[in-house]
Structure 1
């Protein structure tokens, strides 16, 4: 395959599912989240570089720095492609396993995923290697259906792929229609693809649901424009007002954006969400408007602008993730472990002070802060910090390009402490993907990577950690809460 073709598709890693809202009670509402898959037809190290590149740009935007140029990112990707092309450890199609080999290695083919076999709650034990259920989901990219919720105001989380991205369904317009929306705690703009949207790569914006005057009688445009750049793409369009319903809570003429230009990361048919909801604080908004959760609070539909996340992993087979507006779902966490800390970021991101330990040893990394971001898959740490963590993982080694290789059978526990409370990262979450999909007890690529960080003390902490804690943010109090999951 030509490198030029590969480079045009490396950032495509998205999909959707459907779930119905549960009527809120006591001014607390909960939406489902849905996982987004990573591409499974790329070599493991290329998938890693894809996520590192996104994180670098995302972190630069968060810290107000100039991010790496396109040329820099392409150069890094080309280096990974050359490495993968000539490295005999990788099969030709990356992490996909040829169907003819399935019986020999005990791995299902990409079209043979059985959602009933995606784990039994005991596949967390990383001493058994990279979870088979995770590899099946990664290869297939199919939907794993969530169980029915067991508590009020909760919706099930359907899982797509192997724990990459989170999407909820909201209703917009008159008549109301379902839109699949990516939920992102690391940005503050809400937008949906607009009628007549054009892709920056040429053509229209793909097989998505679009909003505009032809589909909604309550649609109103302001004549003002907006533009947002993310780590994985950009959009531009008009600021509009229309009716938005979030888990049955109706916001009349909420102000947000419709995208009329989208980069290929958003416009491609393989990107199955129709828009993005930023859930940081509104001072960060490029549109200059309230976030949906802030609007819900302002209109008295919820008591406080609180957003809470329970993010699950597919290999557990529990499929119990959710996003809650207006409060915390006490059934998801141990209340005796709940800790609340100040948000130290003045720009509108969610950032807190923390310390790090590994293998039960405090690493002595003082003065560190972590931006907690559901829109980032990996943990991105300063080079010296990432090296200090991996020095505590027996058998780990640097790949020389900002990543690390660790044993798939590692049992080393890395912990992040907030407000004096330790939160352990399950060793299985340190395993980004196996180097050789035929050997799930061999080497794995680490989910903690080196980043070009603004300061030597700042980390970007994504889903590798957030799958291990209940995570809640409060705009009015400017605080972050974390608790251990049950």
Structure 2
């Protein structure tokens, strides 16, 4: 039975980013919970190209985390070019994305994609891109809720929140595989009068910014259909004139350090210090990007703006007792849509307390990293001395090459793609587990299915959500949403600790 999407056959995963803060007093203490919304995927590309884009972004992100030089732009271009040369055109006629643009433009932005388009030309690009003229249909056991959302191309409404100070999570699903639930945003208010801003939440960075009035795109023109902050829209906006710049795995922004009033789930931060972006790369300025800013929730020692993160400011001003941030990352295919981010504590309704483990953060730079062991189907792989950076801003799991090989050797039917990725059966039932603090956390096998090699055959081969990369130490992993959707994740700046628990 054939299966495809309503929009494009595969959709580019967007990035994650950053945030920052300093606050003024409003003297009360409580736990605050914000909604998280999955980012829509707007642009269609061949699945192997999409995987390489994610690998490229993860490699650069990992390199920044460990403070070493990452792969050069030329090297990343060569990797994408090789994928393009190998990609076979899907058997579709229609070659337009959801917004009606010709898909030969679809590789612009995602890790040197613009240069690939320029060099390869329309014919080669079209060979890498799928069509969108078919509807998704229930097949191979994929949940109807995910397929309905994919066909609708719209937000799946959240259930009623289950805890105080919580806001429900609306989820947009434009592709039916769980590995493509890749971005999560919350709505905050900024300025006077206050206006809503959609902000991407990222545990792997430490700056907060939103788009500024007059923002210009590096690709030309303005910064798209977003909400902006400045003197024209806010009477309490103050510009310090100091500049900042942040470069991500994909894209960059630069702008000025400012102060203005913020409201985060009812908590008022007066004259808060953060950044407004005045120049954005296409990754952030394009209309396909559904967020207005980025909030980083690693420790402020990483901040390019050199100010406190929002959670640190909330704790400093006594609005929460400790600088704790907790995440429930939702999987749209479950039909629950209950993702949330919680400041100041943990939402006890989201996890099994008997499985909660707390362990020391071993990263010296401000990221969230812990000791980890790895097993497949309860068989320990004997990988000693491994550590893992836990990063909501990364979609995949990036493991050292030998470790990635060891994991996939235990998954029947695995093949290597020769470029750091792996192909596994779409029907895989092998369970990969990561153990932190003595507690094993299983990865649902469906989260390993990044994308089918052939979109018409969901009983064939799928690209694996675990790939190889050697950037930091030979024993260091970068663990993103493929794992984090399977655990309740929390970190505490004051105690420099990480907590994980099994979801309920």
What range is the shorter-chain TM-score in? 0.7 to 0.9
Classify 1:92/1:457 alpha carbon distance in 2 versus 1 (closer, same or farther; 3 Å): farther
Q: How does 1:213-224 map to 2 (within 5 A)?
A: 213-224=231-242
| Deviation of the 1:72 alpha carbon | 1.5
Quick check: 2:488–2:503 contact (8 Å CA) kept in 1?
yes
Secondary structure in 2 aligned to 1:423?
A: strand
Aligned equivalents of 1:331 and 1:139: distance in 2?
31
| Deviation of the 1:11 alpha carbon | 6.2
Aligned equivalents of 1:451 and 1:428: distance in 2?
22
Please tell me whether residue 147 in structure 1 is matched to residue 182 in structure 2: no
Structure 2 counterpart of 1:7: none
TM-score, normalized by length of structure 2?
0.84
Q: How does 1:427-446 map to 2 (within 5 A)?
A: 427-446=445-464
CA deviations 1:428-472 (Å, max 9, x no partner) are 100111111211121111100112321110010000000000000
CA deviations 1:360-393 (Å, max 9, x no partner) are 2100111111000000011011111111100000
CA deviations 1:401-450 (Å, max 9, x no partner) are 11111111111000000011000000010011111121112111110011
Structure 1 counterpart of 2:503: 485
| Deviation of the 1:87 alpha carbon | 6.0
Structure 2 counterpart of 1:42: 45
Structure 2 counterpart of 1:83: 86
Secondary structure in 2 aligned to 1:77?
A: helix
Aligned equivalents of 2:196 and 2:163: distance in 1?
24
CA deviations 1:207-256 (Å, max 9, x no partner) are 11011111111001111110101001101110000001000000001100
Aligned equivalents of 2:485 and 2:145: distance in 1?
16
Aligned equivalents of 1:458 and 1:132: distance in 2?
38
- Which one of 214, 217, 221 corresponds to residue 199 of structure 1? 217
- Which one of 59, 62, 65 corresponds to residue 62 of structure 1? 65
| Deviation of the 1:26 alpha carbon | 6.1
* CA RMSD, Structure 1 to Structure 2 (Å): 2.3
Quick check: 1:351–1:371 contact (8 Å CA) kept in 2?
yes
Please tell me whether residue 413 in structure 1 is matched to residue 431 in structure 2: yes
- Which one of 192, 195, 201 corresponds to residue 177 of structure 1? 195
Unmatched runs of 5 consecutive residues or more in structure 2: 1-10, 17-27, 96-128, 174-179
| Deviation of the 1:291 alpha carbon | 0.4
Quick check: 2:70–2:471 contact (8 Å CA) kept in 1?
no
Aligned equivalents of 1:407 and 1:134: distance in 2?
20
Aligned equivalents of 1:79 and 1:198: distance in 2?
33
Secondary structure in 1 aligned to 2:499?
A: strand
Deviates more, 1:449-458 or 1:303-312: 449-458
Quick check: 2:12–2:44 contact (8 Å CA) kept in 1?
no
Aligned equivalents of 1:420 and 1:176: distance in 2?
45
Classify 1:51/1:174 alpha carbon distance in 2 versus 1 (closer, same or farther; 3 Å): same
Unmatched runs of 5 consecutive residues or more in structure 1: 1-9, 16-24, 109-116, 118-122
- Equivalent residues, number: 446
Secondary structure in 2 aligned to 1:402?
A: coil
Deviates more, 1:387-396 or 1:68-77: 68-77
- Which one of 293, 309, 314 corresponds to residue 311 of structure 2? 293
Secondary structure in 2 aligned to 1:472?
A: strand
CA deviations 1:29-84 (Å, max 9, x no partner) are 10000001334521111111111111011001101011222221121111111211
Classify 1:240/1:11 alpha carbon distance in 2 versus 1 (closer, same or farther; 3 Å): farther
Aligned equivalents of 1:363 and 1:14: distance in 2?
31
Deviates more, 1:450-459 or 1:339-348: 450-459
- Which one of 399, 407, 420 corresponds to residue 381 of structure 1? 399
Aligned equivalents of 2:381 and 2:12: distance in 1?
34
| Deviation of the 1:334 alpha carbon | 0.3
Quick check: 2:200–2:293 contact (8 Å CA) kept in 1?
yes
| Deviation of the 1:164 alpha carbon | 1.3
Aligned equivalents of 1:139 and 1:479: distance in 2?
41
Classify 1:88/1:236 alpha carbon distance in 2 versus 1 (closer, same or farther; 3 Å): closer
Please tell me whether residue 262 in structure 1 is matched to residue 280 in structure 2: yes
Classify 1:329/1:453 alpha carbon distance in 2 versus 1 (closer, same or farther; 3 Å): same
Classify 1:26/1:225 alpha carbon distance in 2 versus 1 (closer, same or farther; 3 Å): closer
- Which one of 239, 243, 262 corresponds to residue 244 of structure 1? 262
Aligned equivalents of 1:130 and 1:382: distance in 2?
31
Classify 1:14/1:61 alpha carbon distance in 2 versus 1 (closer, same or farther; 3 Å): closer
Structure 1 counterpart of 2:415: 397
- Which one of 51, 54, 58 corresponds to residue 51 of structure 1? 54
| Deviation of the 1:136 alpha carbon | 5.8
Aligned equivalents of 1:252 and 1:443: distance in 2?
53
Quick check: 1:129–1:408 contact (8 Å CA) kept in 2?
no
| Deviation of the 1:266 alpha carbon | 0.4
Structure 2 counterpart of 1:98: 133
Aligned equivalents of 2:362 and 2:244: distance in 1?
27
Secondary structure in 2 aligned to 1:198?
A: strand
Quick check: 1:14–1:270 contact (8 Å CA) kept in 2?
no
Quick check: 1:89–1:435 contact (8 Å CA) kept in 2?
no
Structure 2 counterpart of 1:360: 378
Deviates more, 1:139-148 or 1:174-183: 139-148
